[in-house]
Amino acid sequence: MFSKAESRKLREDFWISFGKSFPRKWVLYNTKIKDFSFKFYFDTKKAMVSLDIEDQNLENRIKYWEKMISLKTILIEEFLPEAIFDEAYILKNGKEISRVYIEKHNVSIHNKNTWQETMVFLNETMLQFEAFYYEYEDFIKA
């Protein structure tokens, strides 16, 4: 087991190392769509790259979710075959969002031996997500 301070330091070291290994300005929150963002996630059990639709205005969330569903076949066939679509994903804090995501299991932020494969996964997956987004950005925003 790691103390909170040790765990925090490992997380910090991982993200610094990731940024140095793959220096790039990611889209992340800069989609120009309110509450429509890309995210990296890595904990002691899995890594994940996601597209989150968090809008508190349910009509807006439904609108963007329906656009993603209409693009589902393209996203899966041309960009991310493992993408999981979850219209009602519940976050740890109990908040419900809509999420499209890809996970990598059997990796841990506490195990430096899994860092390289996780960094490659995060980089390659986000590159594909961004390529998809840039290709269909006008349709999604409309």
Give pLDDT tens digits for 45-63.
999 999 999 988 889 999 9
Confidence label for 9 from pLDDT (cuts 50, 70 and 90): very high
Q: What is the pLDDT of residue 134?
A: 96
Domains of the chain and any CATH numbers: 4-141 (3.30.1460)
Q: Which residues, including other chains, have CB under 8 Å from residue 71's CB and lie 6 or more apart?
A: 132, 136, 139, 140
Residue that has been written with the tokens 């990796």 in this structure? 107
Q: What is the pLDDT of residue 90?
A: 96
Q: What is the pLDDT of residue 1?
A: 74
pTM: 0.93
- Which CA distances in Å does 135 have to 49, 132, 141? 18, 5, 12
Q: What is the pLDDT of residue 56?
A: 83
